[in-house]
């Protein structure tokens, strides 16, 4: 099996807010994304979502307050928690999510990506 550099794959992406699957572990996908700006307030009723910052900074807004993540830090948004990821500048991140997790959870926006889009070859 070839090795993969999540950071290099994320850097090579040309679309913002369009996660791409780079691996899988049991019932979870490992995804990377290049982001800038705000995604959308949403929640995932039955799935936790892990964010790991590969480069840059990310603010995750939640109804209980916001957390700021810098390169190398991670945070897990618990299932059912409404959140909105925001990157003031370009940010590269890795996500670990169950295979059943919808990109923008309970909402659909112009930034929402289907699982088929996320599974496209790199």
Domain assignments of the chain as residue spans, ordered by start: 6-118
For residue 47, how many other CB atoms are within 10 A of its CB? Answer: 18
pLDDT of residue 42: 95
| pLDDT for the residue 48 | 96
The pLDDT confidence band at residue 2, using thresholds 50, 70 and 90, is confident
Cα–Cα distance measured from residue 10 to residue 15, given in angstroms and rounded to the nearest whole number: 10
Q: 6-118: which CATH topology?
A: Jelly Rolls (2.60.120)
pLDDT tens digits, 37-76: 999 999 999 999 999 999 999 999 999 999 999 999 999 9
Which residue is associated with the tokens 């059912």? 80
Tell me the C-alpha distance between 96 and 100, whole Å: 12
């Amino acid at each position: 099996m070839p090795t993969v550099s999540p950071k290099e794959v994320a850097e090579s992406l040309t679309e913002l807010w369009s996660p791409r699957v780079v691996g899988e572990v049991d019932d979870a996908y490992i995804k990377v994304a290049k982001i800038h700006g705000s995604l959308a307030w949403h929640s995932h009723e039955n799935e936790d979502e892990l964010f790991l910052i590969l480069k840059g900074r990310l603010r995750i807004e939640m109804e209980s307050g916001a957390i700021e993540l810098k390169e190398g830090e991670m945070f897990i948004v618990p299932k059912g928690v409404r959140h909105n990821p925001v990157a003031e500048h370009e940010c590269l991140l890795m996500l670990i999510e169950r295979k059943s997790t919808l990109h923008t959870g309970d909402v659909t926006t112009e930034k929402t990506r289907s699982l088929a889009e996320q599974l496209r070859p790199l």
